[in-house]
Amino acid sequence: MPFKDLGLSPELLTALKPKTYPSPTPVQSEFIPAAAAGRDVWVTAPTGSGKTLAYALPLLDRLLSSQNQATPLTSALRPLPGRNPRAVQSLVLVPTRELAIQVSQTFMSIASQWGTRCKITVVFGGVSINPQMMGLRGGTDILIATPGRLIDLIEHNALKLSNVQSLVLDEADKLLELGFQDELQHILSLLPKKRQNLFLSATRPESIESLAQSILRLPHEIHIAAETPQPSVIQQRAIYTDRTQRTQLLKHLIKAENLKQVLVFVATQHSSEIVAAKLRVAGISSEPFHGQLSQGKRQQVLADFKAHRVKVVLATDLAARGLDIEKLPTVINFDLPRSAVDYTHRIGRTGRAGESGVAISFVCPESLQHWALIEKRHAVKLPQESIPGYEATTEAPEPLENNGGVKGKRPSKKDKLRQLAASKAEN
């Protein structure tokens, strides 16, 4: 079904460039008519299914039509003296700064053709509040915000939410996961009772159900199950190696396989810094990307990565969701993700929108059991590759469960360490 059959106004349709958006994604085809008709909508659909545009279009359409209906004196174009000319009509809450920026870019890329007619503002924490307060002078039509900063701004009297007509909770699962429950309740209490609610998430854990039930009224539900990653689009590989060899192996792969743009997931901020530094020493342009970095630095790293000025980004899971780096060819799990769901999100950074991509996981003797669990959840069993020169030499630790093996027959890793320590002490 083309965009023109979804109930959007001709004025809005002219802003949709067919080159960028040739036709609606399945989520958009279902979401847009329901939202445009004013209904609450509840979507569960995997990362990359086009949820941002799904809510951006009906909200922009509503804004355009409300302006067209307004009489000149009260119109947003002719503010009355001493009165806030624009009241927030749509509020989009997102969990992270990166997502806030990305969502605002989607809105602005469409609304920019109407010049100053649609005012879209994005606010998030981690940067000075003053420019954001200035930016909100004269109001805004659409506000994209992270919850904490939004509350700060309200407390500074920088804006009011009493005219909000539509509320969007994007990545609602992540909002809860990051502990924004109290902030959310506070913000909800400031909104008009009568409003449209658009609720989007990639997963549907139980905590989401109760939040959704408390907010949504007779929602139109769209449920697109998270697929296990398609092997035809994302080629998954598992390379078996020793923990201590991973940095060397990473360097080797980047060079030997001539990898161009690599997103590497590590478990901690510390390893993100250390591994990036080691790659740089080896002449591979690399940057860490984690929550301790300033907002400016994070944006810079992403921009450099997208523009191919940086080849490798070493990221903690902060980057795993929401970020839209187009055509990312390679994702590497230097450390395995904690859960099978995180695995899906991480490898979802590659092979987007039909592009092919490779997701490589480093599996070590210590993480073998954990890897087996991830494979089981995804109903896959990948061949365990060994790269010559980087093969695992240590043995897997004893399985925790009694698998029928005879304990104590061969020395465990601990035994070996003890033996080594003893022999060192002798020498």
> Considering CB distances under 5 to 8 angstroms, the limit depending on partner class, which of ligand ADP, Mg ion, none binds residue 79?
none
Beta bridge partners of 235: 358
Q: Which is nearer to Mg ion, 51 or 251 (CB)?
A: 51
Helices then strands, counting H and E runs in the chain, come out as 15, 14
Q: Is 29 in the site for ligand ADP (CB under 6 A)?
A: no
Q: Is 21 in the site for ligand ADP (CB under 6 A)?
A: yes
Instruction: Give, to the nearest 10 degrees, the angle between helix 181-190 and helix 147-155.
Output: 50
Nearest alpha-carbon partner for 310 in 284, 329, 331: 284
Indicate which single residue of 25, 44, 166, 201 sits in contact with ligand ADP (rule: CB under 6 A).
25
Q: Is 1 in the site for ligand ADP (CB under 6 A)?
A: no
Q: Is 344 in the site for ligand ADP (CB under 6 A)?
A: no
Indicate which single residue of 4, 17, 22, 414 sits in contact with ligand ADP (rule: CB under 6 A).
22
Q: Please say whether the beta carbons of 145 and 94 come within 8 A.
A: yes
> Considering CB distances under 5 to 8 angstroms, the limit depending on partner class, which of Mg ion, ligand ADP, none binds residue 324?
ligand ADP
Q: Is 135 in the site for ligand ADP (CB under 6 A)?
A: no
CB of 52 to ligand ADP, least distance (A): 3
The region, left, alpha or beta by phi > 0 then psi within -120 to 50, assigned to residue 352 is: beta
> Considering CB distances under 5 to 8 angstroms, the limit depending on partner class, which of Mg ion, ligand ADP, none binds residue 22?
ligand ADP
Query: 10 Å Cβ neighbour count for 309?
Result: 12
Q: Which is nearer to ligand ADP, 100 or 249 (CB)?
A: 100
Alpha-carbon span 109 to 374, nearest angstrom: 38
Residue the block writes with tokens 């990362």: 47
Q: Is 125 in the site for ligand ADP (CB under 6 A)?
A: no
CB of 116 to Mg ion, least distance (A): 27
CB of 52 to Mg ion, least distance (A): 5
CB of 19 to ligand ADP, least distance (A): 10
Q: Is 119 in the site for Mg ion (CB under 5 A)?
A: no
Alpha-carbon span 280 to 286, nearest angstrom: 6
Indicate which single residue of 3, 45, 51, 279 sits in contact with Mg ion (rule: CB under 5 A).
51
Indicate which single residue of 134, 281, 353, 420 sits in contact with ligand ADP (rule: CB under 6 A).
353
Q: In 142-232, where do the E strands start and end? A: 142-145, 166-169, 196-201, 220-223
Alpha-carbon span 190 to 91, nearest angstrom: 12
How far from 188 is each of 118, 191, 216, 223, 424, CA to CA, in Å? Answer: 24, 5, 12, 24, 64
Q: Is 272 in the site for ligand ADP (CB under 6 A)?
A: no
Q: Return phi, psi of residue 361, to 5°.
A: -115, 130
Q: Which of residues 300-329 bind ligand ADP (CB under 6 A)?
A: 324, 326
> Considering CB distances under 5 to 8 angstroms, the limit depending on partner class, which of ligand ADP, Mg ion, none binds residue 49?
ligand ADP
Q: Pick the piece of the chain touching Mg ion (CB under 5 A) from 46-54, 122-130, 216-224, 254-262.
A: 46-54
Strand 166-169 and strand 196-201: the pairing is parallel
Q: Return phi, psi of residue 336, to 5°.
A: -70, 150
Number of chain positions touching ligand ADP (CB under 6 A): 16
Q: Which x/- pattern over 32-71 shows residues binding ligand ADP (rule: CB under 6 A)?
A: -------------x-xxxxxxx------------------
Alpha-carbon span 180 to 172, nearest angstrom: 10
> Considering CB distances under 5 to 8 angstroms, the limit depending on partner class, which of ligand ADP, Mg ion, none binds residue 353?
ligand ADP
Burial of 137 (0-12, 13-18, 19+ CB in 10 A): exposed
Chain positions contacting ligand ADP, by CB under 6 A: 21-22, 24-25, 28, 45, 47-53, 324, 326, 353
Chain positions contacting Mg ion, by CB under 5 A: 51
